[in-house]
Amino acid sequence: MAELVVKSNGHSYLQIGSARDSGDLRGSSLPSISEQKPLTMKRLKFDNLGLYGRGDERSDLKRCIARLVKGETSTEAVFIDGNSGTGKTALALSMKEEVKRVGGALVVGNHDFALREEPYSAVAAACQELCKEVKQSLDTTQFDRLQQEMFQDFDALDLSLLHDIIPATNEIAPVLDDIETVYMENVKSEDKKARLLLAFKKFIRIMSSIFCPLVIVLDDLQWADSSSLELLKTISLAQENKNLMIIGTYRSNEVFSSHGLAKLLAEMRNQADEKHLMMSEVPLGNLPIREVNQYIMDLLSLQNVSESMPLAQLCFKRTFGNPFFVKTFLSMLNEVSLMDYNNGEWGWDMEAIERVSTVTKNVSDFLKDRIKRSCKGDIV
């Protein structure tokens, strides 16, 4: 299976090895762009589908939210792990409507592979989004009360540090520019880090008292830098928190015992009881074949289980039930016109798909071919 290495703006990309590693794809029976039939205007609508095979995991997350709303816990930390493409981010974001329903807020920060040397980037992005949520959700009286609390809890240096990392905080609790410049020029680097961690902790405490619950999703923790991991620990273990839920996602196939995240999780497990932290871990695997078949049935608007099962079995064989690869496999069948929409229904050429699949052992080969053609401008 090819390795997904970069995810930015919701997209995943494959790491393509050398020609020796990936093999020469020209000998496969996948139709070339010039050989393909004109693409149908009826494209598969994946966005209309929800999550599949994650009912138990969604229930676990909802229980965490319910505990916070009822006041049974003050801080929940949930870590969703699994291989690339198993839908960890989708599972976390599926809680947005539930959080909104109970009057809370859910914000997201992604640890971008390209920004892995930039400290605090994910938490800062989540806090930027949180500031926007404040301006949209609070009335004038509530906003004035929040601003007053921030001025009481933060001195000019604390606010300056926050403004530097989270620019939107300047719209909530501004500091005069000349005062901010003086403070920033005179603070020592070691003091700056300690005070910044404290400022983050106080900011999250205040925000979690406004939103019940406040859910912060930190995506792709396998790429988090050491400073971001330290901040995650500081926020999660802060006993002053109220109504706070941290959902972290990471690729278990990239996090080994020596990884900074693995060490952090072990430390948090050891301190959870003492710090009154409710910590949960949710592993995600691939989908069973029945879920793959249900996915295909819903995607193609089919009613008969047996009608789609041969395609589901082949899809499962080539993708191992990995949700990302299932979607990609079906999408590419549509692209090369092995799956078409005609006369008001979807149909597919099972024999042709079998022939292609006989040479192309799994979906990673399809993906490599697709990316190579995309780089040449063949695919938009």
pLDDT in tens, 114-157: 887 789 999 999 999 999 999 999 999 999 999 999 999 998 88
Question: What's domain 54-283's superfamily in CATH?
Answer: P-loop containing nucleotide triphosphate hydrolases (3.40.50.300)
Q: Which two tokens stand for residue 228?
A: 């971001």
pTM for this predicted structure: 0.84
| Start-end of CATH 3.40.50.300 domains in the chain | 54-283
256 pLDDT band, cuts 50/70/90, is very high
40 pLDDT band, cuts 50/70/90, is very low
**Per residue in 57-116, pLDDT tens?**
999 999 999 999 999 999 999 999 999 999 999 999 999 999 999 999 999 999 998 887
Burial class (CB within 10 angstroms; exposed 0-12, middle 13-18, buried 19+) of 147: middle
Report d(CA 380, CA 367) in Å as an integer. 15
SS (H, E, C) the chain: CCEEEEEECCEEEEECCCHHHHCCHHHCCCCCHHHCCCCCCCCCCHHHCCCCCCHHHHHHHHHHHHHHHHCCCCEEEEEEEECCCCCHHHHHHCCHHHHHHCCCEEEEEECCHHHCCCCCHHHHHHHHHHHHHHHHHCCHHHHHHHHHHHHHHCCHHHHHHHHHHCHHHHHCCCCCHHHHHHHHHHCCHHHHHHHHHHHHHHHHHHHHHHCCCEEEEEECHHHCCHHHHHHHHHHHCCCCCCCEEEEEEEEHHHCCCCCHHHHHHHHHHHHCCCCCEEEEEEEECCCCHHHHHHHHHHHHCCCCHHHHHHHHHHHHHHHCCCHHHHHHHHHHHHHCCCEEEECCEEEECHHHHHHHHHHCCCHHHHHHHHHHHHHCCCCC
Mean pLDDT over the full length of the chain: 84
**Per residue in 286-345, pLDDT tens?**
999 999 999 999 999 999 999 999 999 999 998 999 999 999 999 888 888 888 888 888
Q: What integer pLDDT is reported at residue 184 of this predicted model?
A: 53
Contacts of 203 by beta carbon, 8 Å cutoff, 6+ apart: 127, 150, 162, 166, 169
Q: What integer pLDDT is reported at residue 187 of this predicted model?
A: 59
Q: Which of 86, 130, 312 is nearest to 220 (CA)?
A: 86
